[in-house]
Structure 1
């Protein structure tokens, strides 16, 4: 494989994907068979400046350049060649947020990330105006809140985009977003695969009444779907990306996408009746719908696949953080007893114990709310573990209840889709740390959703690989070959997949837990109010 990879590098037959996650920027180079052949990364953290979660422009470019350079060095070390060109490039980043620029292309206010909950008034008013859920983290909510706040910079806005759109613009000169990314900026018309014109007119009329003269169609990026060419790397862009000057200009770029879209691609869940659950610090389910929902639900975000199909997102802020803290304490206990335990072995042992517990986790109750949880209407969180005098308190049930509660808030959103909206699902693809121990997280989630849950070998490759696949699709697709066909037949055809189907006792046990979970929210409310 290494010889083939070397030839692919020398012949410009590779594809590069780079994704800006919330804690890491990752660059992945893939070969002709779409498998990663080199990678590089850069760790970074957001800063809380003047009550705003942000990343500085300097940190954005430093992180991009260092992750690229580490990947290029990996190429040199592995294959003994310089990386001078690739077949295509794609950029992805965490969705939403706010980056506004003036006519001189200067950033008007520091980048406001998705993590900011500062747009409640805008979110509420726009949801009512459009009859369409506009979450606080969406870009249009940030813009409208700035207008409501009478922020001076609004008068100077010439262009508004996202982090992925900003990187793409600076490297190509093109103001473009992929439709999946754009669906977290403003609602999308599923027919035109672009911004909803009726809602744009409603917004323009709304802000005109507040003496604001800008028009959304003048400041928003163009929307493209997967497979379309989104420009080429300019001479200036090549120097920005590769400070060593070895990378050549002229490389085509695919439309920049958000992390939700690249997660769908990386798990081959872009077709209708499929979905994926990403479970780590937060948990969110992305379900590709066959039809519109019957009404607006504040618990459900509507976005799209990179091809413009409607997706329902059930997103919870909390997942594994509290569970990790408990396992950390158990590790500390073993060390104090003079027993050194490998961390992976510790997780595997404790997770496996959960399968030995009672179907409903023995009557135990837990909330892993390290932060607030919008799904259950908590502005702050207090991690809690609660049991009654007749609960079956043992290690197996203790681990089981903490795995249950990791999916608890997300399950409320999924119940809306499956039980109220009758959304049909053939399977869910799971990815994230909670699925690393074979069969455990899968069994818990299958019982929670009453749907088969599959995990792929490549589930850990993540969004950088997902955006690389979108770039590969752009240059390698055959006539009329859909993204779903490309992924299924050319990327995942030989992929090893392990599937766990739900068992009736686990489905019933999780429903019993959820009854307890909802009733116990009053305990969580008291903790938030009084602790």
Structure 2
């Protein structure tokens, strides 16, 4: 047991980060050296209700409370202390989506997550109007689509926010977002670090014929940058977070952020020419830009770091879900054979097989499209595995092709940045479940981007740790100390890093696979259109 950690807990010098991911809610408590000292998590899954991917607010609070409680139990178990105060708290969640409330704070329609791909009409119209890429996932696209559909609730909207913004609001009473999260709600002006006023005016003019009782700026959360205070935990909020009633009110909270921003922080990739890739249920690459892109690209989203610097984002809705299903099938087979296999060992064994495969996956083809994929213009998906009589069909290639395709849609976007826009990238930092088996996902990603890929020993901590670091920055920063400097000098200074450089044969193999991937999209289209 660390005496320093015990002292930090007792004196309230810890920081708590909680992130609501798409399959897990995780709480991480960090000490004065910014290293995790306790954690807790809660597994959950989205539901498809009336063709809308959603989570109920009851599930949100059950999950937040459970992850907090497990973290508090971990504190008690390790240090013999009942957790009653914390130096700061931060909340993060999957970005985008749509949560609209009336003036009384009641949710008007079920939470619409980032995973829904039914806002193409709104997305296209707004992209053209603003001359700025507005992805289907963005909150403003969801709002405008609801207006286009003449949904009954639109005239009752008093407040619109994201999942992170909602949780933060209920705990503090403050209707705010961190700038990184806000950049997935509505475009940000990089000079003011606030919503783009010209585009706000354009939107209000666009919807004026609907005679709605609000202007857009009236219903959006206020924007804050990293380091600013975002309110304190209220008495009501403390009881909501800690159902045992032990946690005291009055704890400061940092601005709520999206999982993109916390991923940047957790991988120390908030500086220009750095990038990070999060690979889990979805996959997204974030590259901090030195300058604006030359034109609008439908495949590239522009968001910001938690400090408001421009970031290009290549996002794919699907990454590891189908791959996980295949591993589950192998596990089922093992059990049927009477062989009990540890799940982690199964993943490691199968992933390492992929390293023995042909660089291009042996002519095999796979699409892990469990849901729609905006990068390749699919509103719904069909997971597919395809081979020809000439394919080299073996276990190594089977596993390799599923790893290649997990990055396939994202690579289409990254090729635009690296090959068309000539964006300079020194290295990429990887985090997420796909990188747990050492060297495998990392090597495949290095081949996809033709850039060195690094994994830090803290990569598994993810966004919950990232938002805790933003809380720590707010609490402990020196005057005029930038987030980049704070991370470099106070957090990552002694960090162990493992780097894999791209193998030219693997780079060439990935390019060959991508030719097959693009040509085969017609097969995916036929499966969707024929309702197979």
* Alignment CA distance shift 1:51-1:408 (3 Å): closer
2:44 is the alignment partner of 1:6: no
Separation in 2 of the partners of 1:61 and 1:340?
A: 35
Aligned to 1:397: 397
Instruction: Give the SS at the match of 2:210.
Output: coil
More divergent stretch after superposition (253-262 vs 58-67): 58-67
Give the C-alpha shift of residue 181 in structure 1.
Answer: 0.6
Aligned to 1:292: 292
* Alignment CA distance shift 1:529-1:218 (3 Å): closer
Give the C-alpha shift of residue 107 in structure 1.
Answer: 2.5
Aligned to 2:436: 436
Aligned to 2:241: 241
Aligned to 1:115: 115
Separation in 1 of the partners of 2:368 and 2:14?
A: 42
Aligned to 1:281: 281
Q: Does structure 2 retain, via aligned residues, the 8 Å contact 1:351–1:440?
A: yes
2:265 is the alignment partner of 1:258: no
* Alignment CA distance shift 1:333-1:27 (3 Å): closer
- The aligned length equals 531
Separation in 2 of the partners of 1:387 and 1:104?
A: 56
**Structure 2 alignment gaps of length 5 or more:** none
* Alignment CA distance shift 1:402-1:479 (3 Å): same
* Alignment CA distance shift 1:447-1:192 (3 Å): same
Aligned to 2:357: 357
Instruction: Give the SS at the match of 1:388.
Output: coil
Separation in 1 of the partners of 2:97 and 2:175?
A: 16
Aligned to 1:524: 524
Separation in 1 of the partners of 2:327 and 2:66?
A: 33
Separation in 2 of the partners of 1:190 and 1:304?
A: 9
Aligned to 1:173: 173
Aligned to 1:130: 130
Separation in 1 of the partners of 2:158 and 2:388?
A: 59
Instruction: Give the SS at the match of 1:461.
Output: helix
2:224 is the alignment partner of 1:230: no
Q: Does structure 1 retain, via aligned residues, the 8 Å contact 2:314–2:410?
A: yes
Instruction: Give the SS at the match of 1:446.
Output: helix
Query: How do 1:31-42 and structure 2 match up within 5 A?
Result: 31-42=31-42
Instruction: Give the SS at the match of 1:209.
Output: helix
Separation in 2 of the partners of 1:116 and 1:390?
A: 37
Give the C-alpha shift of residue 119 in structure 1.
Answer: 2.1
Instruction: Give the SS at the match of 1:16.
Output: strand
**Structure 1 alignment gaps of length 5 or more:** none
* 1:63-85 superposed Cα distances (whole Å, 9 cap, x missing partner): 22222222222212221112111
Separation in 2 of the partners of 1:125 and 1:499?
A: 42
2:26 is the alignment partner of 1:26: yes
Give the C-alpha shift of residue 476 in structure 1.
Answer: 0.8
Q: Does structure 2 retain, via aligned residues, the 8 Å contact 1:30–1:468?
A: yes
* 1:458-503 superposed Cα distances (whole Å, 9 cap, x missing partner): 1111111111000000011112211111112211111111000012
Instruction: Give the SS at the match of 2:250.
Output: coil
* 1:244-294 superposed Cα distances (whole Å, 9 cap, x missing partner): 222222211100111111111111111111111111222111111111111
* Alignment CA distance shift 1:197-1:2 (3 Å): same
Separation in 1 of the partners of 2:103 and 2:344?
A: 52
2:52 is the alignment partner of 1:52: yes
Instruction: Give the SS at the match of 1:312.
Output: strand
Q: Does structure 1 retain, via aligned residues, the 8 Å contact 2:317–2:371?
A: yes
* 1:24-61 superposed Cα distances (whole Å, 9 cap, x missing partner): 22211111111111122223333333443333333322
* Alignment CA distance shift 1:358-1:149 (3 Å): closer
Separation in 1 of the partners of 2:379 and 2:201?
A: 33
Aligned to 1:199: 199
Separation in 2 of the partners of 1:364 and 1:422?
A: 31
Q: Does structure 1 retain, via aligned residues, the 8 Å contact 2:115–2:371?
A: no
* Alignment CA distance shift 1:136-1:88 (3 Å): same
Instruction: Give the SS at the match of 1:97.
Output: coil
Separation in 2 of the partners of 1:485 and 1:239?
A: 36
Separation in 2 of the partners of 1:304 and 1:28?
A: 24
Q: Does structure 1 retain, via aligned residues, the 8 Å contact 2:117–2:379?
A: no
2:104 is the alignment partner of 1:67: no
Separation in 1 of the partners of 2:457 and 2:318?
A: 25
Separation in 1 of the partners of 2:98 and 2:360?
A: 43
What TM-score results when the alignment is normalised by the length of structure 2? 0.96
What TM-score results when the alignment is normalised by the length of structure 1? 0.96
Q: Give the CA RMSD over aligned residues.
A: 1.8
More divergent stretch after superposition (356-365 vs 193-202): 356-365
Separation in 1 of the partners of 2:509 and 2:441?
A: 15
Q: Does structure 1 retain, via aligned residues, the 8 Å contact 2:17–2:27?
A: yes
Separation in 2 of the partners of 1:391 and 1:43?
A: 38
Q: Does structure 2 retain, via aligned residues, the 8 Å contact 1:204–1:214?
A: no
